[in-house]
């Protein structure tokens, strides 16, 4: 088995490929990002299981943060939007 090369920069799977249009890049990258978001949301849903104790306020805080970010995402993906919405990250309960 070959050893990995040291000091090799990581491959940027989201870098624009030679000759790739913006539309092609979107189609290539979007499914991966959506899948990652869905997996992250499913992981959050597991906090609703019996292994965790939570308050209604904590759940509402999480849901509000997710709904706000989803609204920002929808706005940034709107056909007439030319800018990317930047919001503060670092959610805390």
pLDDT tens-digit profile of 25-84? 999 999 999 999 999 999 999 999 999 999 999 999 999 999 999 999 999 999 888 776
- What residues contact residue 18 under an 8 Å CB cut-off, 6+ apart? none
CA–CA gap between residue 35 and residue 28 (Å, rounded): 12
Record the pTM.
0.73
Give pLDDT tens digits for 12-22. 788 989 999 99
68 contacts 33 by C-beta, under 8 angstroms: no
Residue with tokens 């849901």: 63
Q: What pLDDT does residue 91 have?
A: 79
Residue 9 neighbours by CB distance under 10 Å: 5
* 89, pLDDT greater than 80: no
76 contacts 84 by C-beta, under 8 angstroms: yes
């Amino acid at each position: 088995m070959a050893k990995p090369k040291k000091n090799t920069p990581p491959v940027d799977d989201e870098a624009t490929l030679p000759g790739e249009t913006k539309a092609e890049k979107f189609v290539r990258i979007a499914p991966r990002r959506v899948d990652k978001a869905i997996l992250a949301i499913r992981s959050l849903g597991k906090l609703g299981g019996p292994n965790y104790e939570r308050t209604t306020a904590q759940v509402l805080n999480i849901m509000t943060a997710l709904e706000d970010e989803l609204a920002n995402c929808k706005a940034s993906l709107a056909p007439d939007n030319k800018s990317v919405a930047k919001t503060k990250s670092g959610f805390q309960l």
